[in-house]
Amino acid sequence: MGKSRFYLGDVGNGAAMKLVVNMIMGSMMASFSEGLLLSEKVGLDPSILVEVISQGAISAPMYSMKGPSMVQSLYPTAFPLKHQQKVQNLPTRFIYWGIQYVS
C-alpha cells in the first residue's frame, strides 16, 4: 500500500482498507485496459498513450509499470484472477447486506 503507516482504529480496519485499495486498483486497471484498446482502435500508438498518461493528472506508478507489457500483450501473472474477482465483489456484498467488514 505504501511506505507510510496510518492508524485506522478497530481491528480489521487495516484489512478493510486493503480491500478498498485493491478494489480501486482493479477498477483503474480495467479502465486503463479499455483506454489502451480504444487508442489502438482509433489509430493511436498505445505506447505513446502510456507516456501521455504518465505526465498528466491521472499518472500512477501502476500505469507506467504495467503499461509497456500490456501494449505488447504480455500479461505475466501477478495477482490471480480468482482473487481479483473476490476483491471486486466483496465491497458490493458488504454494502448490499449492510455487513461491516471484519477480518
Kind and range of the H or E element at 50? helix 46-54
Q: How far is Cα of residue 76 from the mean position of the Cα atoms in its chain?
A: 15
Residue tagged active-site, from 18, 41, 66, 86: 18
18 is catalytic: yes
For residues 36 and 53, the answer to whether their CB atoms sit within 8 Å is no
Q: Which residues are catalytic?
A: 18
